[in-house]
A and B are shown apart, each in its own frame.
Chain A
Amino acid sequence: MIEKADVAIIGGGINGCSLAYELSKKGKDVVVLEKNYLASGATGRCGAGIRQQWSTKENAILAIKSVKKFECLADELGADIGLRQGGYLIAIHDEEEMKQAEKNVKMQRSLGLEVEILDEQGIKEVVPILDVKGMDAIAATFCPTDGHADPFKTTYAYANAAMKNGAKIYRFTEVKDILTKDKKIVGVKTNRGEIKTSIVVNAAGAWSKEIAKMVGIELPNMPYRKEILVTERMKHIFDAMVISFKDGIYFSQQEEGQILGGIPSPEEKPGYHTMPTFSFLRHMAKTLIRYAPVLKHINVIRQWTGFYDVTPDARPILGEVDVEGFIQCNGFSGHGFMLAPMVAQLLAELIVDGKTSLPIKNLLLERFKKMKIERERSVVG
């Protein structure tokens, strides 16, 4: 193992690997420390969606810029990432949701995003298997450039490109402590030895809270178990990701033909519980069939769980905190995969140039103490 690095990134998920790539591109010596294998946490368990339809302007800008990067990523990294832009169809169930949707669409369009409100007929045209009555929907918003990518392929594409640039990626390497002196980072201690560094990035997903405790920083993030299932493969029948904020459901048909989707359990409590539940399976099956009755004949082949690393306003925590050189890259609240390309660029700018091309003031940890926070409303799963 190497003895020193410019930057040590804790966590080998999409955010750790994309940041390693962006930093290595800027000539930094980077090391990624992953306690398990790459994408073994939330990244490899996620719904793979990429969405630009947000209620807060900052999230929308981040997502739009991320999609621009996703569109060029395969060429830039020299590897397929399984990107498919089939759009996101967001159900609108009542007048109140309609008002919020109109507000969101107006804001999103002002940013140049192609997004429209569909009536019943429009919904059936985009996803013919949907039962609009069963969904209890009155309309939907649709953005055709939303979509999904393969989280495994994308993470490995970033990791391999980073390693080509000289980054070191250590799997099965657990950070045991973060070393500081006079409130400055001086190194990290792992189960395989120590690495001297002045910058540590906390990209440990649901375990970020534990990592921050090593330097006495208390993060407000809470880990929430989220459940997901996948069906057998079937003929390709729809392109869009279908979601509903009211029901919490999301589902899409993936590259290979399987339907992948999730829904929150009403009684879910925070904590590191990993067991999948039968109540999820029932709830998801019932809701999915209500949305798309034809799917009742399709077999579920697997269910699993992963964690959302949830902040009080459902937005990420980025940037430096009280300890000099300790950078946060966590709290993605279920949206880490889709935001990663742009977040990685911004944090690389912050670390190398000391400033970012987009303001991240409202994403700093200190917002929870000083500012009135604006909660992101557009959350599913």
Chain B
Amino acid sequence: MIVICRCEDVTEEDIIKEIKNGCTTLEELKQRLRLGMGPCQGRTCMMLALRILARELEKKAGEINLPKNRPPVNPVPLGLLAGEND
């Protein structure tokens, strides 16, 4: 068993299963598996998942679109955003 997304505990097997179920984009893998939706925001897993997707769909890695980056880049405490010094 190979863990791809450590934050949300998604394995290579999970990803392959969803591709067999019809997912053809990383966005759909996010929806189905919460892939890349944890604190690291996909920095660890997204490129690995992209390669798996390309391999399974017999496409080039460059033909697969990356999901939109969503701010913030790093997790930020609510208190800091609210302007509280704690």
Task: Using CB atoms and an 8 Å cutoff, list the residues of chain A in contact with chain B.
Answer: 37-40, 44, 152, 156, 171, 231-233, 256, 276, 281-282, 284-286, 288-289, 295-304
Contact = CB atoms under 8 A, between A and B. Distances in A.
A276 to B, nearest CB: 6
Contact of A152 (B25, B32, B39): B32
Interface in B65-79: 70-72, 75-79
B31 A44 contact: yes
Contacts of B82: 282, 285-286, 288-289, 296
Interface string B14-29: 0000000000110110
B70 A281 contact: no
Contacts, number: 80
Given A286-B83, A297-B79, A298-B77, A303 B72 contact: yes
A296 B27 contact: no
Contacts of A281: 71-72, 81
A38 B21 CA distance: 14
A39 B34 CA distance: 14
Given A37-B25, A276-B70, A301 B81 contact: no
28 contacts: A37-B28, A38-B31, A39-B31, A40-B27, A44-B31, A152-B31, A231-B78, A233-B38, A276-B71, A286-B81, A286-B82, A296-B77, A296-B78, A296-B79, A296-B82, A297-B77, A299-B75, A299-B76, A299-B77, A300-B72, A300-B77, A300-B81, A301-B72, A302-B37, A302-B41, A302-B70, A302-B72, A303-B72
A232 B75 contact: yes
Contact of B38 (A282, A295, A300, A301): A301
A256 to B, nearest CB: 7
